[in-house]
């Protein structure tokens, strides 16, 4: 069966520090991959999605970037965190040609 791993579960980082969040999927190949952010009390914002290795679509201009170095690995990065980057970050995957998505447990990031 398919599983999605996302870590760490919680993270506290100082302003100006770098960020790297990793997400991996097991049990499937060639998935669509997504990064979402949810600020406190707000809705889910799609940040990036990818349909293949090296193919990244950015939905919102911001301080973050994403990469997909392997088929089932999706990384969210920042060179210098801002206070406004705080939030709940979720990775998800869906089969190709489907919007039935499966989400990881999320990373709660607090920038201080």
Residue 11 within binding range of other proteins, rule CB under 8 A: no
The answer to whether the CB of 34 falls within 8 A of the CB of 68 is no
Nearest distance in Å: CB 29, other proteins: 16
CB atoms within 10 A of CB 40: 8
Q: Confirm or reject binding of residue 7 to other proteins (CB under 8 A).
A: no
Select 14 or 98, whichever has its Cβ closest to other proteins: 98
Question: For the purposes of burial, counting CB atoms within 10 Å of the CB of 70, is it exposed (0-12), middle (13-18) or buried (19 or more)?
Answer: exposed
End-to-end CA distance of the chain: 38
Q: Is 103 in the site for other proteins (CB under 8 A)?
A: yes
Shortest distance (Å) from residue 93 CB to other proteins: 11
- Range in contact with other proteins (rule: CB under 8 A) among 11-19, 21-29, 31-39, 71-79: 31-39
């Amino acid at each position: 069966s398919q599983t999605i791993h996302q870590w760490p579960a919680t993270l506290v980082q100082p302003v100006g520090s770098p960020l790297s969040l990793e997400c991996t999927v097991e049990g499937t190949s060639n998935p669509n991959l997504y990064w979402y952010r949810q600020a406190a009390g707000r809705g889910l914002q799609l940040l990036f999605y990818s349909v293949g290795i090296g193919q990244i679509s950015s939905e919102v201009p911001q301080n973050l970037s994403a990469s997909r170095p392997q088929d089932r690995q999706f990384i969210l990065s920042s060179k210098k965190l801002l206070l406004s980057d705080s939030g709940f970050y979720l990775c998800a995957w869906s089969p190709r040609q489907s919007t039935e998505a499966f989400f990881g447990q999320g990373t709660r990031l607090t920038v201080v």
